[in-house]
Amino acid sequence: MSGTDHLDAPTGLRDVAVVAFAQSSHTRRTDQLSEVELLMPVLHDVLKQTGLTANRIGFTCSGSSDYLAGRAFSFTMALDGVGAWPPISESHVEMDGAWALYEAWVKLQTGEADTALVYSYGKSSPGSVRDVLTRQLDPYTLAPLWPDSVALAALQARALIDAGHTDERRLAETAVRSRRAATANPHAQLRGSADVEELLRQPYEVEPLRRHDCPPISDGAAAVILAAGDSARALHVNPAWIRGIDHRIEAHQPGVRDLTESPSTRLAATAAGAFDAPFDAAELHAPFTAQEIVLRRALDLGDGVPVNPSGGPLAANPVMAAGLIRIGEAAALIHRGEARRVLAHATSGPCLQQNLVAVLEGAAGTEGGAR
Amino acid sequence: MSKQPVAVVGVGQTRHVAARQDVSIAGLVREAAVRALEDAELGWSDIDAVVIGKAPDFFEGVMMPELYLAEALGAVGKPMLRVHTAGSVGGSTALVASNLVAAGVHGTVLTVAFEKQSESNAMWGLSLPIPFQQPLTAGAGGFFAPHVRAYMRRTGAPDTVGSLVAFKDRRNALKNPYAHLHEHDLTLEKVQSSPMLWDPIRYSETCPSSDGACALVLTGERGAARAPRPPAWVHGGAMRSEPTIFAGKDYVSPQAGRDCAADVYRQAGVTDPRGQIDAVEMYVPFSWYEPMWLENLGFADEGEGWKLVEAGVTEMDGDLPVNPSGGVLSSNPIGASGMIRFAEAALQVRGLAGEHQIHGARRALGHAYGGGAQFFSMWLVGSERPDH
């Protein structure tokens, strides 16, 4: 089943690349669309980019949440949309699609498949996503208190400000930079921003966070195609090679964590080889402005590295897809020849509890090169 | 690209019961994980990554519970993945963990699957509300009963076959200390006269609703060499999925199940499953699924599965014992049920199945399915290291 690609001697890992990426135009609500209807155009797009059909894909893996969908086994409807006939080799994670991509990457590493379709989607609009996300918390000690996602992020921002790592102005600057960058991204939901002075005149949402510090509520979907070795070279002239990918989790209770640090991001980045060479850009899954500061510190990303040229999750935040979109946007920069080495990051859980880091590299003799 | 050999060196499960009111969800999963580590004589620091699986989050009312379980499973600072592929999830979770070792990404992986069904009502949790589905079915039994009826009509199997399977599995469960149902007084007549729930499925032919967890420690060749007890080697593993509903779908013998088995047998070099496989742990939530899966998995020709049941072939002392542990009919923490099948298959080839050990079992199949008979996961484990 394995392709003709060479084995990478030091690690024994295969060269795997992102060869296609597609996403929806994310919006505040999609009342007229089911999750499947939201996803279908994205699947068609990503398959069309490669000329592949669902039954020619070696492995399929998706990420989604029953709690967002409001029903059990919601992913089965999406699978019907994929058209899993004849039967396909397929799996699903109840996680952001970035982790579905990780599972697919592992599958390609076994040599049992040479190509993989990864997709994820989420509709936050049918319910109150702030309330829904409280159901992620420890059911005995935290969830009964219903601390919502904005309140928890505000605790993290407060800790960061108190530690002297940022201030409200710098947070506002992050929001302005992200949403102005999104003017060039037709898929983004919030494009453009008032200036910092105007934003700082607004009332607090949950102190110290104002509305601009929070992500929009989004419905959206994304899909990526992975391919190994020669299959990747055949499907894209400039594949975005995954030079390293790793993910780590931290303790759940916010009270036992130092919320100004992200040791799990640091560990994942180290394992993914992120510190081996500088980056041309980074796509960070930081739904709240203060979380970008935490991640920049964990990743040693100075002001010279452009962060979230797509606008990032502050411009569109379809829960369950926003992490996969970071990997897709990072790959797209390489596909378009706008960057050679890009870091992609995804997160899950309250206050950046779980983090994934991927290092993507493009052409210019990098095959078999730095890793 | 050659895969690294994968070995099961630790197996742990909880004593499955209707309601574990003495432990939290974290306590339940940790109990199984600790038993698997003890079996492997390993500590938390020996584990490189954790892969956890369960069925829908609504069963416990916790969204993505792995986040809250990170500490209980010693995952802090490690990679943690959460799999959800409906009823097949316990099997799929073990396969995702196995792939991490096979790919050379990790050396030793802990995988855990659970369900604490007493936190909610699983039957109604499985009955989708409007607008997702018309209110025609109540629970999984309501969905599967017509397909059982189709099997009976297609094969001419006598009405009693289902009761034979149920009676066998519940008798086998008496030899398994971890099984939920220990019905010492059960007779075949009692099974046959139990209330009809979803015609033709009777009460005693239906799986219980259980609280339980199962855990496995998977490792490579070096880990297996250090293991204190015999390992079970993974000879083949696969997943297959097909859509829920489409014109031409064969609910009685889904193509995805056939394809999945064929892939596993190819990997394991099995050409005659009936002759080469010594024990089967098959996902049989309703008794009639034993003859149906016997055909789907290639142990019997089409229309012949029920004859193996009638002839006693699948009994503990038959030549193809099916569910010596008592199976899903005797314990059903849904998210864990698939992994329990995989674990029990491993125990058989390790020779550690205790009173329900099949003497001399060298190859065993673990099987799980889920959704609308559309998700399949299987592995074949052996007592010998695979030579490919």
The secondary structure element, H or E, covering residue B238 is: strand B232-241
**Mean pLDDT value across residues B6-18:** 98
What pLDDT does B121 receive? 83
Question: Are A23 and A203 a contacting pair, CB within 8 Å?
Answer: no
Pairwise CA distance, residues A194 & A163, whole Å: 28
Burial B288-312 (b: 16+ CB within 10 A, else e): bbbbbbbbbbbbbeeeebbbbbeee
Pairwise CA distance, residues A103 & B113, whole Å: 17
Cβ contact (<8 Å) for A95 and B82?
yes
Which of A204-208, B13-17, B243-247, B262-266 is predicted with the least confidence, judged by mean pLDDT? B243-247
In the CATH scheme, what architecture does the domain A129-186+242-361 have?
A: 3-Layer(aba) Sandwich (3.40)
Total Cβ atoms within 10 A of residue B154: 14
Pairwise CA distance, residues B327 & B208, whole Å: 11
Cβ contact (<8 Å) for B62 and A136?
yes
Residue B201 has pLDDT above 90, yes or no: yes
For chain B, give the mean pLDDT: 95
pLDDT digits (tens, 9 = 90+) for B327-380: 999 999 999 999 999 999 999 999 999 999 999 999 999 999 999 899 999 999
Tell me, what amino acid is at B32?
A
- Stretches where chain A sits below pLDDT 70 are 1-11, 364-371
Cβ contact (<8 Å) for B96 and A140?
no
Which candidate, A254, A285, A253, A290, places its Cα nearest to that of A268? Answer: A285
Query: In sequence order, what are the beta bridge partners of B85?
Result: B87
Intervals of CATH 3.40.47.10 along chain A: 16-126+217-235, 129-186+242-361
Q: What are phi and psi of B61, to 5 degrees?
A: 75, 25
What pLDDT does A6 receive? 37
What pLDDT does B129 receive? 66
3-state helix, strand, coil in chain B (%, to 5): 35, 20, 45
Checking ipTM against 0.85, whether it exceeds it is yes
**Mean pLDDT value across residues B49-66:** 95
Q: What is the CATH number of domain A16-126+217-235?
A: 3.40.47.10
Residue B131 has pLDDT above 80, yes or no: no
Which domains are present in chain B? 7-119+208-226 (3.40.47.10), 234-382 (3.40.47.10)
Distance to chain A for B49, nearest Cα, Å = 9
Cβ contact (<8 Å) for B83 and A93?
yes
Instruction: Tell me which chain A residue has its CA closest to the CA of residue B85.
Output: A92
B211 to B37, B80, B271, B331, B337: CA distances (angstroms):
21, 23, 38, 9, 10
Query: Among B57, B68, B101, which would you mutate to test the A interface (most chain A Cβ atoms within 10 Å of its Cβ)?
Result: B68
Question: Are B55 and B115 a contacting pair, CB within 8 Å?
Answer: yes
Query: In sequence order, what are the beta bridge partners of B218?
Result: B8, B109
What pLDDT does B125 receive? 74
Which candidate, A214, A194, A202, A185, places its Cα nearest to that of A328? Answer: A185
Q: Which residues of B touch A264 (CB under 8 A)?
A: 77
Distance to chain B for A351, nearest Cα, Å = 12
Which of B6-20, B135-149, B248-262, B369-383 is predicted with the least confidence, judged by mean pLDDT? B135-149
What pLDDT does A4 receive? 34
pLDDT digits (tens, 9 = 90+) for A305-351: 999 999 999 999 999 999 999 999 999 999 999 999 999 999 999 99
What pLDDT does B7 receive? 98
Cβ contact (<8 Å) for B71 and A67?
no
Alpha helix positions (H), A87-148: 97-109, 129-132
Total Cβ atoms within 10 A of residue A356: 31
Cβ contact (<8 Å) for A66 and B92?
no
What pLDDT does B134 receive? 59
- Contacts of range A143-152, beta carbons closer than 8 Å, 24 or more positions apart: A143/B62, A149/A350, A150/A205, A150/A206, A150/A209, A150/A214, A150/A288, A151/A206, A152/A254, A152/A350, A152/A351
Q: Which residues of A touch B372 (CB under 8 A)?
A: 76
Cβ contact (<8 Å) for A94 and B245?
no
